[in-house]
Structure 1
């Protein structure tokens, strides 16, 4: 998701852009689904079902439900400007029969095919970076997050929870790998990338840059625009209830040790991985010099906020000219901070080379999806084996010229078609004619990307002017030509939403699984289990997972565990949504309806 946003901020962009629209009960609607989560005419309604027994044909040891949101979820307690968290009841399993009938007896017939975990939108952040644009909060309170200084502690707690998972709750099969679907880092810098890779592979992280002994960001700058946890300053966040927590900033920059994932993990790029702030020119020398330098802007005039917001909304400034002008004519307003070369911007070659570094091999695989061959042309898309008879395809949907929307270039779209065909004994061409390929392995196919279909456009990419770009509708059309595509799994929206992509030929239908971020409310990951129902259908179980941090916080506990719990509680108290909806309604929308949370997604095969 774009980290720099308009006065309507990043959440309002999603709520108003066609990515999602508010409806009854603040549910969201995407193509193929009506407001309130109701399916289109002719689709089978979602039906609530109790969580099934883990005793399954082909099932092993089941994970304790306490490790997933089937058992318990964090809930806001009390009232007022700052609300504490408590443990609430879990969310039930909902069977989605939109694309195929959920036939009785399938629980006794099914066999497990695959089990894995999706992380997305971790936004591991260097919150002291000079290139951050917190000053946009003057136009939209929600444009800066009070919890961001704790992104490393929060992500370590998520890794700990993934490591604690035994078997999936519906198959008992242990997760075989983790896929992180982009926005792994926040501001396209090398130090953030090193923190992310250490987080996933294991090791010590010191989430501090600049002065090694002190924090130099907006949270102790003296401006009431930002929450000052260590100071009695009556800032705008304290006025609405955020607490004073002495020692917070010292704790936030202390070293944290990640155990690393105990299972292999793969990486898919997002716009924040490829672009500064998720939407600025990535190779600009002015920005490259500024991010490692000793000057940082904490506030700018409202007229500059408005000018910057305008070009961010339109995407008509791929060279970040307006932003660079703001940096230039506000130079006298900038404050002195400690320069740090570790913040340098990451090139695509840097990004790939870092993943290939043996120091970050962790539990594997080497390169985490990338190989030395990807360095030729700096390609960031690949396929990989998920399990016997199941193939994963990771695609790169980012614009490299500077915009938070997504797309595919023609070369990659053709590669995707060729890769799909290599694993499909039969498919359909663009004119609907059946094509047979008896030499293909005919695997079940799962596609991974950062952007979801509504956020993919045909905007020209100034960094690749010779290539036509392709939007989400074109990707949907391509995937629907292959009857063995089960699901397209993605992030970017920071919202839990599941969309059925129905086709007149039922076997050509598939699911789009869009998962919320781990930086904003509700801070979820997904545990996914694929099963064969042996009745012409397969089911994809998608179960939401929270971090290992306790729901209840202790404001005096500034240990790594205490900070991870506070990371969640601050996110649940997100300020200034500026969407025109009550805060609670937006919370419900971002968490999704019951049909977007813990689900069984049934789809025809064959």
Structure 2
């Protein structure tokens, strides 16, 4: 289906809009297109839109989303489009969650308590991510500056359960190559979606399961298609990696102290348990990792529904050092750079934070906000916080000390974009790192305070929440403000990535343009089509229809989608 652009079509897709509001939407889109260099392949052109009422809802290509100008931190002056000079253009991926759905260390039976434990679409994560790569390769440049993308940054949770096989899939999706998105016996699927258990969606079966009762279809050939080998094109531009909690711990929650390694690579998979145990385990994963490990052990010995699967050493969990080392493998260099931000020193010491040249005059800083003590949320260690402050001082013409006094810096004054997995509001996990028990941990509020001391910090880009949310971090001194740009995941609907452009308006302000993009998959699905494109389309639509998810909460508001974020340009 082609994109819809008339006021009548807008009103048809969004019945809650009055004709007047639909017309205003069309006018805003027209104004947006007039300001852009190009809109092809972005949500400025068209966006996935649900149609129908109740039950299983189909997706179509609906009207695009207009740009929203946000002036909380600086005013917008007329004529800036004509004066604009592009400084940087890049893409953010986040929370790909490439998932080994056949792994014994998964908690699918907790989905009714925690929607991330099992998703009906998760067998298609690898194909969905590769389709997103296809989109970036096709779009190639920022819609407002016209600058070619300098790089893609994946801001963490690139794997779902920090398994070596998931890491191989991620690195191959990004760099290109042949992928078989299956583990264990590669000739057949061995996960909960052909278990015959009615609590799961069994897509190839006529079984009346809980998901089909909510409208999900029967799709013959779905699982065999999901594990079929395919060729990933890989990104045609440089890419970098930031680490997330799912890249660092068991299901993103339990500290990995090596106690479950044999379970990862073994042949016993828990597929179900009684409601009381499931409720206790779901709560323990959030509040008490130690108790969670004990409960999991009990399920394996008695009380759990156990399935025998084919063991696979490639499911072994990786360490931070192994994570960095894998990025240095020449097989995964792709469009570069070698190591994708990590160095041999990173591999030797497991140091997963670094700097890189994002564009001429723009420095990128990638942080490691994970806490190996467990739990989903994060923080920064004292060593990393001190390192960050030293880097900012080295690349700032001036900054402010903790008392608010101006300090003159060196000559290498650059704009700075900070990347992390966690957000300012999800960095309250101050438990001691078991691998550095005597090191202090620091919160998101402390990181905001540090960044605001450096006027050349223009943005903090992150993921983790699976929501689109853009926040203004204002300050009484205008040049000390910056924007926090949080983007939804590519495992839960709405399956977004984000183009970010930085432009000098030549009037004392900077504009950050944020434009959401979707994968290259067709918007409409065909339940008889299990080709690579057909599966990628189903990945998006099934995610919207996950009965345990809340897509409306994750998609964000118009002010979190396609935006122009204004800032006062720091004085030189």
Instruction: Tell me which interval the TM-score lies in, with the shorter structure as reference length.
Output: over 0.9
Mapped partners of 2:295, 2:361: distance in 1:
49
Residue 198 of structure 2 corresponds to residue 198 of structure 1: no
For residues 153 and 134 of structure 1, the distance between their equivalents in structure 2, rounded to whole angstroms, comes to: 21
Deviation, structure 1 residue 440: 3.5
Report the equivalent of 1:502: 474
- Structure 2 distance, partners of 1:151, 1:308, is 25
Tell me the equivalent position of 2:358. 386
Partner in structure 2 of residue 596 of structure 1? 560
User: Contact conserved, 2:286 with 2:375, CA < 8 A, in 1?
Assistant: no
Measured against aligned partners, the alpha-carbon deviations of 1:341-398 in whole angstroms (never above 9, x if no partner) come to: 1110111111011001111000000000011121343100001111111100000000
Counting only pairs closer than 5 Å after superposition, residues 199-348 of structure 1 correspond to structure 2 as: 199-285=173-259, 287-314=260-287, 316-317=288-289, 321-330=293-302, 333-348=305-320
Deviations 1:176-207 (A, max 9, x none): 11000000010110000000000000001000
**Residue 531 of structure 1: aligned partner:** 503
1:106-146 CA deviation, whole Å, 9 max, x = no partner? 11111000100000000011100000110112545664200
How far apart are the structure 1 equivalents of 2:226 and 2:300?
A: 31
3-state secondary structure, aligned to 2:129 = helix
For the residue of structure 1 that corresponds to 2:516, the secondary structure is strand
* Equivalent residue runs for 1:479-558 within 5 Å: 479-558=451-530
Superposition RMSD in Å: 1.7
Runs of 4+ with deviation above 6 angstroms: none
Tell me which residue corresponds to 1:188: 162
- Note closer, same or farther for the CA distance 1:525–1:141 as it changes in structure 2 (3 Å cut): closer
- Equivalent position of 2:400 in the other structure: 428
Q: Which moved more, 1:102-111 or 1:499-508?
A: 102-111
Instruction: Pick the aligned partner of 1:460 from 431, 434, 443.
Output: 431
SS of alignment partner, residue 419 of structure 1: helix
Count of matched residue pairs: 543
Partner of 1:93: 67
Gaps of 5+ in 1: 1-24, 26-46, 56-61, 578-585
Trace 1:54-93 onto structure 2 (pairs within 5 A): 62-63=37-38, 65-93=39-67
- Conserved? CA contact 1:421–1:440, under 8 Å: no
- What is the CA distance between 1:415 and its match in structure 2? 0.5
Quote the residue 2:340 is aligned against. Answer: 368
Q: What is the Cα deviation at residue 54 of structure 1? A: 6.0
Residues 212, 458 of structure 1: alpha-carbon distance in 2 compared, 3 angstrom cutoff: closer
Query: Is the CA contact 2:97–2:159 (under 8 Å) kept in the aligned structure 1?
Result: yes
Give the secondary structure class of the aligned counterpart of 2:526. Answer: coil
> 264-273 vs 325-334, which deviates more?
325-334
* Structure 2 Cα separation of the partners of residues 154 and 48 of structure 1: 28
The Cα offsets for residues 9-65 of structure 1, whole Å up to 9 and x where unpaired, read as xxxxxxxxxxxxxxxx9xxxxxxxxxxxxxxxxxxxxx999215467xxxxxx44x2
Q: Following the alignment from structure 1 to structure 2, what is the Cα–Cα distance between the partners of residues 428 and 490?
A: 24
- The aligned residue for residue 322 of structure 2 is 350
Q: Is the 8 A contact 2:322 2:347 kept in 1?
A: no
Task: Report the TM-score when normalising by structure 1.
Answer: 0.87
Alpha-carbon shift at residue 557 of structure 1 (Å): 0.8
After superposition, the C-alpha distances for 1:540-599 in whole angstroms (9 at most, x for unaligned) are 10000000001001111100000000000001112134xxxxxxxx43331111110000
2:545 match:
573
After superposition, the Cα gap between the structure-2 partners of 1:140 and 1:120, relative to the gap in structure 1 and judged at 3 Å, is: closer
SS in 2 for 1:551: coil
The aligned counterpart of 2:22 is none
Which residue, out of 150, 156, 172, partners 1:176? 150
1:41 corresponds to: none
| 1:477 counterpart = 2:458 | no
Residue equivalent to 2:5: none
Residues 376 and 429 (structure 1 numbering): CA distance in 2 closer, same or farther, change over 3 Å? farther
TM-score by length of 2: 0.92
